[in-house]
Amino acid sequence: MQQNSPNEAGTRVSGVRKVLVDSDRAGQRIDNFLRSELPGVPKGRVYRLLRRGEVRVNGGRIRAEYKLKEGDEVRIPPARINTGAAPPPAKLAAEMLDRVIYEDKRLLVINKPTGFAVHGGSGISHGVIELLRHARPDLKELGLVHRIDRETSGCLVMAKRRSALRELHERFREGQVEKNYLALAVGDWQYGEQLIDVPLYVQNRKGGERHVIVSSKGKEAQTRVSLSRTYGVYSLLQCAPVTGRTHQIRVHLQHAGHPIVGDERYGDEAVNREARKLGLQRLFLHAQSIAFADDSGNELHFTAPLAEDLEAFLAKGVIEAQRQKKRQSR
């Protein structure tokens, strides 16, 4: 990929900087800290800076998982950073703001539409975070509590304060968050309630694309799956990930022999082609709900209504698929 020239609008080479960590940023991992301090720098470049020892904390080398402490002095080396790419379309930013389903002084939760990455990078100019920050300048510290795939719609939780972000990241690590997804899978699910417990391994392909496979070399991954409704040709499943691996639900259902309808990477090509003819133009995976305790111990539970296009496919496309199957069996 062609590098931006030094004078290209929207970027500049920053000089060496030393940043003193305050109480609000204490506890943050150094890699996440650097990504916020070096906007637009690819994640791989950030990790190379750490491995080469170009980033120093209190004069010493550190690993990517190092957690900053109040009073730490971080030396940040020169790097080409974004100085402000073209702002996102105002209409798009306003529409994302309309997706907010909950907000308080610490949190913001949206019903993310399909087709939007949670943040920019890797050829994506504006993700959910950038759109919301543009629509609301007071949200400049907005941070992702977790991630969902670009193709997936539904509940996405963000923190408005770094203290809330640290706290919620800890809850995720300790398994204190309950997430539930709705997935329309191929075929008639016959397993009742099942725990899919197979390790997942991430393969890095050319161009930075990640592809996940079931492999003993991978990390532990568990998903609880239960049947919500069967349509014969399809099954509507409730999926609760116990762990949070990349593409976990998609690969686990593929492994079980019931890939998600509309999944172009892990799905059934013939089924997807027929589903497109019947009106489904995307992955049928929706982050339906998420629940966790707040800083006072009160249980918070958020639900995102199923997207209109998915509702429409359940109402019309599934029925037509059933009719076609009956005609074929005669």
Query: Could you tell me if 322 and 278 are in contact, meaning their C-beta atoms sit under 8 angstroms apart?
Result: no
pLDDT grade, residue 140 (50/70/90)?
confident
Q: What is the b/e burial string over 157-171, where b = at least 16 CB atoms within 10 angstroms of the residue's CB?
A: bbbbebbbbbbbbee
Specify the residue for token string 């389903």: 101
Query: Could you tell me if 278 and 323 are in contact, meaning their C-beta atoms sit under 8 angstroms apart?
Result: no
Domain(s) labelled CATH 3.30.2350.10 in the chain stretch across 90-162, 177-329
pLDDT digits (tens, 9 = 90+) for 213-270: 999 999 999 999 999 999 989 999 999 999 999 899 999 999 999 999 999 999 999 9
Residue 149 annotated among the catalytic residues of the structure: yes
Q: What is the pLDDT of residue 10?
A: 54
Mean pLDDT score across all residues of the chain = 87
Neighbouring-strand partners of residue 153: 286
Question: Structure tokens of 254?
Answer: 């593929």
CATH of span 90-162: 3.30.2350.10
Which has more confidence, 92 or 247?
247
Phi, psi dihedral angles at 183 (to 5 degrees): -130, 135
The DSSP string of 92-126 is: HHHHHHTTEEEE-SSEEEEEEPTT--SS-BTTBS-
Region 280-309: what's the mean pLDDT?
94
The residues, any chain, with a CB within 8 Å of residue 124's CB and separated by 6 or more, are: 117
pLDDT grade, residue 83 (50/70/90)?
low
Beta carbons within 10 angstroms of residue 184's beta carbon:
26
Region 71-93: what's the mean pLDDT?
77
Quick one: how far is CA 152 from the chain centroid?
Answer: 8
Is 5 a residue whose pLDDT tops 60?
Answer: no
pLDDT digits (tens, 9 = 90+) for 105-137: 999 999 999 999 887 765 566 789 889 988 998
Give the global pTM.
Answer: 0.78
CATH of span 11-82: 3.10.290.10
Domain(s) labelled CATH 3.10.290.10 in the chain stretch across 11-82
Which has more confidence, 36 or 178?
178
Is 80 a residue whose pLDDT tops 90?
Answer: no
279: left (phi > 0), else alpha (psi -120 to 50), else beta? left
CATH topology of domain 177-329: Pseudouridine synthase (3.30.2350)
Catalytic option among 149, 197, 268, 309: 149
Region 185-195: what's the mean pLDDT?
95
Straight-line distance from the first to the last Cα atom of the chain, in angstroms, rounded to the nearest whole number? 55
Hey, CA dihedral for 263, 182, 224, 230, is it positive or negative? negative
Is 98 a residue whose pLDDT tops 80?
Answer: yes
Region 285-299: what's the mean pLDDT?
92
